[in-house]
Structure 1
Amino acid sequence: QPNRGTKRPRDEEEEEIKARRKQASAREHSRHREEESVALEETDDEKKKLLQIIERDGEEEEEEEEPLDESSVKKMILTFEKRSYKNQELRIKFPDNPEKFMESELDLNDIIQEMHVIATMPDLYHLLVELNAVQSLLGLLGHDNTAHVSIAVVDLLQELTDIDTLHESEEGAEVLIDALVEGQVVALLVQNLERLDESVKEEADGVHNTLAIVENMAEFRPEMCTEAAQQGLMQWLLKRLKAKMPFDANKLYCSEVLAILLQNNDDNRELLGELDGIDVLLQQLSVFKRHNPSTAEEQEMMENLFDSLCSCLMLSSNRDRFLKGEGLQLMNLMLR
């Protein structure tokens, strides 16, 4: 008979297989428990982080909800002045190394954004003047960093001069407008306009907000229109109107501001004539001799251009220019 002693009984083999399976199962179970434990720890960590963020946001909201008073505005202006000075210092020290001053520029942008809250309290505008913040802001209009600094200042000035806000506090408004006019704000705004690239959305918005500042100031103090026109604004508006660019909101706004500058103002009517503005107006209107305006916005621009032209024709010198520029023939074609 064959010797079966060398071969283990079937029962023993099955027992060993079961034992191995149990060990493997125990190891697998242990590994799953460890993974679950790590996952739970990660979940706990995420929860803690989330709670920290919520708490921090809550603290920031509490800080933001701090009542705006003379003391908090003074503190804000002081922070603005410090950051502006620090940025100026770093730019002088490291002119060819933007990494050294870029963070200070972002900090400066942050405080300029925070200062928008002052527009809710025009009674405190006098602090902007007394603490020389207006002069500092005007100085930053020519800043090399148009995106983070000069356009941010334009946005702030636009909100500070919002016509509804100005009427909330006549006294605060007078003080602010006086300081802006004295600082030749329009001349500085025009210099900034010259370097803005309207193909970049932020810079196109900067142009729009610049025109809004002029409109706000002109509505509050119409007599500043003469000075504004003479500080380069009239020339820039005419140049922008005749620029070979697609019709857009900024072109419409230019036509509106031009009409405002010419309203009841012989000095500006004369200046427009001297700058060949009658020709510019006729050229812009000639577009409509073959077809009517295709949108409500184009219709509005055409009306603004006609308002400007009619206003200018109050002067005999401009009537001569109109006739020489074949204005009558153009009007005849447009009426057909």
Structure 2
Amino acid sequence: MTDINSLFKKSSESSTAGPATKKRRLDDLSSLLDKYKSGTSDDSSLPGPSKVRDDLDDNVAENADLPDEPLEDEEGGRFFGGGLSEEQKDVIDFVNNYDDQLGDEKYDKVWIRKQISKLDRIIKRNTQQRVKFYDNPSKFLDSEEELDRTIKSLSVLTEHTELYPAFVEHEGLQMISSLLAHENTDIVVGAIQLFEELTDEDVQAEEADLEVLLTAAAESGMLDELIVNLTRLDDSRRVRGSEDKPIREGEDEEPERAGVFQILNVIENFTALQTTTDILLVNNSGKGGAGDTSLLPWLLQRILVKEKPVSQNKQYAAEVLSIILQKSRISRLHFARQEYNDKNLGELSGVDALLRALASYRHFDPPVEDVEAVEFFENVFDSLSIVVQEDLGKDKLLENEGVELLLMIVKSGGKHGKARAVKVLDYALSSGGSSPLAIDFVNNSGLVPLFKQFMSSRFAEAKYHRSAEKGSVSHVSLDALLGIIGSLFRNLPESSEQKLKLVARFVEKSYEKIARLLQLRNFTTERMDRTDIVIEGERTAFLKTKPTKADDLEDWESDLEVRDAEWYLQRLDNGGYRLQLIDIVIAWLVAEDGDDDLGIKTEILKQLKEGNATLNDVKNTLEAYRNEIMPKSEFEEGEVSSDANEDAEQRYEASDLAEMLTVLMEFL
């Protein structure tokens, strides 16, 4: 039987709608979004409006010997009439009147009903012809082309987003959703393209209208159909090979690559709302509780396909995953919990898949010129950083030997890889429930690369401390290193072999690491002093503007409250946060050497005195920090669990940290 998809493409290329369906390569992501929009053709052989040729010189040569004709000034003559016959005038008048009618067309609910009714008729006619002429695709080709044009014509809704609710009410969205199961992949891709345009952020629809559209799309099963088509439009067969659907010689994968890209674009558009973001990975409609939408296993399998160079779709799959995990805690917990048994990959979890993707970069960074590979690399690290902040994610990181891999990257990876791995370890160790990870960190010789980075000559330069770390991914973050050291002190069991090894690092080589720690403190306090001078000047100037009228006082006080919050954040960014990390480590060292048996406390006091500071200054830092994080409301016993309310877990963690600070202050 003739392949309808190829037949449909051939006909489209030779019709006036041809340029609208011509596929473009995915070299430029932005150009792909215009893939199915109407274009113009320079091929004069195509039917449609004639191409005007510049034959002026030929006409002049042909008429050179003809006598000049006088211009006729009377009305209806050549001067006023342009040399047109009455029949030609009638044609032009008809076209002008038709254009005026189009310009005056009213886009309202009536128009919506007409368009949806038209779409319904065309879909039914196409279905009937497909059944009747199932063995002769050329017989239903016209209805297929008409359906394709009608789908594209609905893109005008992007200019009338207030009609989205009416479009949903009259089942227009349901019809578009049904086309995702169409046998012709061009029709499928056209329907996907339409929905992508309707939900694109550049459309600037009102949030309420967009919510109606996205919610209806989720409830109508459109999301499920999109996910089904991700498998149907398999864009990686040529790379990885496929026994179920082998690539044929001469077969073009470009349409399928375009379709996958557009589906991922639509899925990203679903993240505009929290409610629709939460259902992208988790299906809560089943009676048995939360299930899988099948999007997650597809994303995991797609990012694990080995490609060189990395394709845009592989990078986009990693980006979409990181966006969903960042915006939805339900998805993060589901991601950490789910296990899959893939025929190609074996038993697989989400964290395991991310670690496998990063394993390829354990000794080097992706080349800078390979933009897709660099973005893929960063997106995978972002996803891992997000997930390991959850207790379930920490468990999976430990279970899949993630600490060992991350330390391998810190030891022998590229510059960007080292910086990213250190940040992931900081996130993983940052809570009070990270004791198993902390032990594993030390057991895998993590102290060696940790303090090698800590003693880097870069941190000993005063110029490094004159400005805030701007989230650079090219250098290891000092704040992340300090965070890891503080977390190890907090999470390693008391008097354990691992904690003794940590303390010993600060004693060896004549307390050089204590000297570095106090050097960092001096640099940080100097920067904070400069910042405090600026803030105090701004605050004094603002206080002078205090109004005398009672009516204006309330607004002024509100403005002052906002400015105080801004000044507080400015102080944190300019050394306040780092000082908290440093002083926590100092307090832990003093606490671990309570009787000064190791000489740690004596060395700290000496170094503090050289910087005109005392242990009381350290205590003041911890006290201010404790007061900032102390929960405003108490939590109930048993309120916190792996699936509990996120606010309750944050209050529990803050309360636990505040209690730790209180204990440390007693040693000071």
Do Structure 1 and Structure 2 share a fold, with TM-score over 0.5?
Answer: yes
Separation in 2, partners of 1:263, 1:249: 21
Question: For structure 2, which runs of at least 5 residues remain unmatched after alignment?
Answer: 1-61, 63-84, 236-251, 283-292, 340-348, 413-668
- Deviation of 1:330 after TM superposition, in Å, equals 1.6
**8 A Cα contact 2:152 2:190, kept in partner:** yes
Name the counterpart of 2:220. 183
Separation in 1, partners of 2:217, 2:170: 14
Bigger CA drift: 276-285 or 172-181? 172-181
Separation in 1, partners of 2:158, 2:372: 30
**8 A Cα contact 2:352 2:400, kept in partner:** yes
Q: Which has the higher helix share?
A: 1
- Deviation of 1:92 after TM superposition, in Å, equals 2.3
Name the counterpart of 2:322. 259
**8 A Cα contact 2:126 2:140, kept in partner:** yes
Choose from 372, 376, 380 the match for 1:305. Answer: 380
TM-score (norm 1): 0.77
Structure 1 residues 332 and 124, CA gap change in structure 2 (3 angstroms): same
Name the counterpart of 1:236. 298
**8 A Cα contact 2:274 2:328, kept in partner:** no
Choose from 329, 350, 369 the match for 1:277. Answer: 350
Q: What RMSD over aligned residues (CA atoms) do the two structures have, in Å?
A: 2.6
What letter corresponds to residue 74 of structure 1 in structure 2? R
- Deviation of 1:282 after TM superposition, in Å, equals 0.8
Separation in 2, partners of 1:297, 1:58: 49
Deviations 1:214-247 (A, max 9, x none): 111212x123223111321111111111123441
Bigger CA drift: 69-78 or 208-217? 69-78
**8 A Cα contact 1:186 1:233, kept in partner:** no
What letter corresponds to residue 222 of structure 2 in structure 1? V
Name the counterpart of 2:409. 334
Q: Does 1:217 align with 2:270?
A: yes
Separation in 2, partners of 1:69, 1:261: 35
**8 A Cα contact 2:277 2:327, kept in partner:** no
Separation in 2, partners of 1:190, 1:100: 31
Choose from 192, 195, 210 the match for 1:154. Answer: 192
Separation in 2, partners of 1:320, 1:119: 46
- Deviation of 1:248 after TM superposition, in Å, equals 1.2
Structure 1 residues 317 and 175, CA gap change in structure 2 (3 angstroms): closer
Separation in 1, partners of 2:153, 2:98: 13
- Deviation of 1:272 after TM superposition, in Å, equals 2.2
Q: Does 1:208 align with 2:261?
A: yes
Separation in 1, partners of 2:98, 2:254: 30
TM-score (norm 2): 0.40
Choose from 121, 124, 129 the match for 2:163. Answer: 124
Name the counterpart of 2:138. 99
Separation in 2, partners of 1:283, 1:160: 36
Choose from 387, 391, 399 the match for 1:316. Answer: 391
What letter corresponds to residue 362 of structure 2 in structure 1? K
- Deviation of 1:63 after TM superposition, in Å, equals 6.4
Q: Does 1:113 align with 2:152?
A: yes
- Deviation of 1:131 after TM superposition, in Å, equals 1.5
**8 A Cα contact 1:123 1:171, kept in partner:** no
Separation in 2, partners of 1:176, 1:282: 36
**8 A Cα contact 1:155 1:209, kept in partner:** yes
Separation in 2, partners of 1:320, 1:242: 22
Separation in 1, partners of 2:295, 2:96: 46
Separation in 2, partners of 1:195, 1:141: 11
Deviations 1:237-282 (A, max 9, x none): 1111112344111111111110112125343223323231111101
* Aligned ranges 1:3-42 → 2 under 5 Å: none
Separation in 2, partners of 1:318, 1:180: 31
Q: Identity over the aligned pairs, expressed in percent?
A: 30
- Deviation of 1:64 after TM superposition, in Å, equals 5.5
Question: For structure 1, which runs of at least 5 residues remain unmatched after alignment?
Answer: 1-35, 37-47
**8 A Cα contact 1:84 1:108, kept in partner:** yes
Pairs aligned (count): 285
Name the counterpart of 1:173. 210
Deviations 1:101-132 (A, max 9, x none): 22111110010011111111101112211221
- Deviation of 1:326 after TM superposition, in Å, equals 2.2
What letter corresponds to residue 121 of structure 1 in structure 2? H
Choose from 277, 281, 296 the match for 2:371. Answer: 296
**8 A Cα contact 1:266 1:315, kept in partner:** no
Name the counterpart of 2:125. 86
Name the counterpart of 1:29. none
* Aligned ranges 1:134-145 → 2 under 5 Å: 134-145=173-184
Structure 1 residues 136 and 309, CA gap change in structure 2 (3 angstroms): same
**8 A Cα contact 1:241 1:251, kept in partner:** yes
